[in-house]
Structure formats: structure tokens, C-alpha cells
Amino acid sequence: MRIKLWFAGITGLVIGVSAAAAQAFFKVQPPVAYGYCMVCHPGTMVAWLMNNYLGTNFPISRAFVLFPSLLAVGVIIGAVVAANKNKEIGWRTSPARKKYMAVLFGFLIANFALIAAGCPLRFGLLVSYGSVSGVILLVSLIVGIGLASVYLRLRKES
């Protein structure tokens, strides 16, 4: 079916529209273009939990002062339902080195993304919001992806 060729595109459209609606009608702001971010929202959730259970005082978006963002929880729930429905759920083990590298990459990516103030999708939302800094961050992200792609190609050839 030809529509499957565009399925990722449709997913992207849904993300974009729902993120815009989240800000416009469901008070997921400030800051602006904050309707979807897979680093900022988990970061807010962790900060909220630490503030409320460990007595810290990390800054939290006004939208999530009373209750934490549940975006990451929702993504996992949705993915479990989809994978289960299509019989694609099941524990798949990995080699030890790959697991340790995954921990390291997760750690680094969380820090890099929070330093850049967003995930790749938030950069896209900022670009949609007409933000020049969003464009600069997106270009920087693409540069990083390009460098890694070159590294992978060179590693494959050697």
C-alpha cells in the first residue's frame, strides 16, 4: 500500500500538529514550542520528582509545577500497546559491550541535549515557530549527524 511509504511522514505531521495544539490549547508552556521534547519533558519529570521527594529546588516549567510531564510515560505506553498488538514485543538481548556503550551514549546524549535546550524534535518545533536560534541548532545537529555518518562510512571502509 502506497500510504505506508508516507507513514513516517504522517507520524511527523501528527507530532507537529499535536505539539502545536498542546501549547495553544492545553497550556504546555512556557517556554514556547514546548509541546513535544523527549529530553526537556523527561528532565522536567526528573526535576519534579527530585524537588518533591528529595527536597531539591531545580527550576521547572510553570506548566508542570503541580504535576510532572508524563510524555515519556505516554510514549512507552503507546509503544507497548503497538508492539503487543503487532506481536513485535519481546526481550531481545545485546552483547555486553553494546549495553555498556548504550549507557554511555544515553548519559552523553541527555547532557548534550539539555545543554542545547532540546531534542531534535524540539529544534524542529522552534524552526516552525520562526526561531532563528532553532534554525542554528538544527543546522548544528545536522552537522553532528553528518560527522558521525562520515565516521561510520570510514569505519566501514577500513
Partner 1 sequence: MIAILATLVIGILVGYLGQRSRFCSIGGFRDYFLARDTYLLKGYLGVIIGASVGFVAFKFAGGEVPNYPLGMDLPPITPLLVMIAGAVGLGFCSVLAGGCPTRQHVMAAEGKESAVFYLVGFYVGIVYFLLVTSQYLNDIISVSV
Residues 8-37 that bind partner 1 (CB under 8 A): 8-29, 32-33, 35-36
Which conformational region is residue 27 in: left (phi greater than 0), alpha (psi within -120 to 50 degrees), or beta? left
Choose, by CB under 8 A, the member of 5, 53, 55, 158 that binds partner 1: 5
Closest approach, Cβ 52 to partner 1, in A, equals 14
Using rule CB under 8 A, residue 73 touches partner 1: yes
Closest approach, Cβ 158 to partner 1, in A, equals 16
Using rule CB under 8 A, residue 60 touches partner 1: no
CA distance 142 to 114: 17
Residue 1 vs 103, nearer CB to partner 1: 103
Closest approach, Cβ 140 to partner 1, in A, equals 4
Q: Compute CA 123 distance to the chain's CA centroid, rounded to the nearest angstrom.
A: 10
Q: Say if residue 31 is preceded by a cis peptide, omega within 30 of 0.
A: yes
What lies within 8 Å, CB to CB, of 69 at 6+ separation is: 41, 42, 44, 45, 48, 63
Closest approach, Cβ 34 to partner 1, in A, equals 10
Binding mask 83-102 for partner 1 (x = CB under 8 A): x--x-xxxxxxx---xxxxx
Q: Take residue 153 and report the three cell numbers written for it.
A: 562510512
